[in-house]
Amino acid sequence: MFDVIIAGCGPTGALLAAELRLHDVRVLVLEKETEPGSFVRVVSLHMRSLELMAMRGLLDRLLEHGRRRPVGGIFAAIPRPAPEDLDSAYPYLLGIPQPVVNHLLEDHATELGAQVRRGCAVAGFEQDDEGVTVELAGGERLRSRYFVGCDGARSTVRKLLGVGFPGEPSRTETLMGELKATASPEEIAAKVREIRETHQQFWLRPFGEGVYSVVVPAAEVSDRAEPPSLEDFRQQLRAIAGTDFGVHSPRWLSRFGDATRLAERYRIGRVLLAGDAAHIHPPAGGQGLNLGVQDAVNLGWKLAAQVRGRAPETLLDTYHAERHPVAEAVLDNTRAQVELSSAEPGARAVRRLLTELMDFDEVNRYLIGQITAIDIRYDFGEGPGLPGRRLRDVDLTGGRLYDRLRRGRGLVLDRTGRLTAEGWADRVDLLADPAADVDVPALLLRPDGYVAWIGEHQRELDDHLARWFGEPGKQPNST
């Protein structure tokens, strides 16, 4: 019997498995595909996701394979540079091939002891008071205490669970791919500038070595059920630009729509949803993979505490309470970005107005914070200030804060030298550092890097330790 079975070994499922293994939870990941995907799509990791990777010691590995890009111009592709003093030690985007992300996170999970089985499609499941029985397509039945669907936009787990998935179906479709081009960079840049005056759903963005990220309206080309072809791209480029720029040698070609849907519930009993299984939206701003990664880190330590028998009564319910509103906000900002890409006169007028407003630092900073998730504040009921917000990677005596979070444990950062977390030493670390670069006497960080408490009194700290990490001295269940 496993503690947790996860359906889907994409970035969300793999990172969730790794987060659970940090707490010695027995994890099995089921992936229906027999081999890792060869679909070489470049994705962007945003500031908050880069922070999470730094917390788990993964960022340097990712940086070896990625390309840093400026944060500016990510909201509706409005070309405005980012403010210089963004609240992160990692104020950039990291463009990186998605297979590299998938491979690195899967390796991370297996290095920590997670089991991954490929060629295993989920056919059904039943849950009871003690656990979940998962049936595979070949008839094999597996047993676990909890089951998590990280199996993508067409999630089998979500459908079998019967969770509503309300929203809007796709209205328009767009072709997207990475191709080489024989036209000169100057010719391409000039034509793109001209066309984007009226067509926001069109670009050829250089990726180096003659490769371009190409986005063009799909119109009526080819069969929606089939992957697009190189000729589809050429046809649409000629129709809009009057030339196909000599595109050739595609790395990958895809089609996407603007469907927008959000699961009504992220948890029913012992079955949970995360990543695209819980939410889908247009790729505007490149938020999809990041939203799933952040789901995984929010859920991992809470589900592990539940499995180990030391979770406060309502801890696991905070996963839905915190992450569902975040997804709602992402769906809203992608809806707005899609409208701003319309060629209709009204949408173009709003886009011009917003472009002017983004010259104001506060507006630009707000929109970047929304896209990159550094402005998230969970409702901890604590009033103004740090609680509910993430803490940037601050300087400590002899190191950095995020290096202290690699084990996925809570952390008391104490500048007073008077506090203790002795009753929670099996799940919370205490760091007494009067020189820590924070402007509060002490704070409590959750394993996902969000501030759970600030203050200087032991009794208050004990109350918040119990709220998030259970009663002191309680021994975990054996796994």
pTM for the model: 0.92
In this prediction, residue 254 carries a pLDDT of: 86
- Taking the C-alpha atoms of residue 9 and residue 114, their distance in angstroms, rounded to an integer, is 11
Between β-strands 271-273 and 141-149, what pairing exists: parallel, antiparallel or unpaired? parallel
Q: Left, alpha or beta for 29 (phi > 0: left; psi -120 to 50: alpha)?
A: beta
pLDDT per position as a tens digit, 170-215: 888 889 898 999 999 999 999 998 998 888 778 898 877 889 989 8
In this prediction, residue 479 carries a pLDDT of: 46
In this prediction, residue 39 carries a pLDDT of: 61
Q: What residue ranges define each of the domains in the chain, with the CATH number in brackets?
A: 2-167+261-372 (3.50.50.60), 173-257 (3.30.70.2450), 389-469 (3.40.30.120)
In this prediction, residue 450 carries a pLDDT of: 98
In this prediction, residue 234 carries a pLDDT of: 95
3-state secondary structure the chain: CEEEEEECCCHHHHHHHHHHHCCCCCEEEEECCCCCCCCCCEEEECHHHHHHHHHCCCHHHHHCCCEEECCCCCCCCCCCCCCCCCCCCCCCEEEEEHHHHHHHHHHHHHHCCCEEEECCCEEEEEECCCCEEEEECCCCEEEEEEEEECCCCCCHHHHHHCCCCCEECCCCEEEEEEEECCCCHHHHHHHHHHHCCCCCCCEEEEEECCEEEEEEECCCCCCCCCCCCHHHHHHHHHHHHCCCCCCEEEEEEEEEECCEEECCCCEECCEEECHHHCEECCCCCCCHHHHHHHHHHHHHHHHHHHHHCCCCCCCCHHHHHHHHHHHHHHHHHHHHHHHHCCCCHHHHHHHHHHHHHCCCHHHHHHHHHHHHCCCCECCCCCCCCCCCEECCCCEECCEECHHHHCCCCEEEEECCCCCCCHHHCCCEEEEECCCCCCCCCEEEECCCCEEEEEECCHHHHHHHHHHHHCCCCCCCCCC
Q: How far apart are the first and last CA of the chain?
A: 10
Q: Pseudo-torsion of CA 458, 462, 468, 473, nearest 10°?
A: 130
In this prediction, residue 478 carries a pLDDT of: 47
In the predicted model, residues of the chain with pLDDT beneath 70 are 37-40, 220-225, 383, 474-479
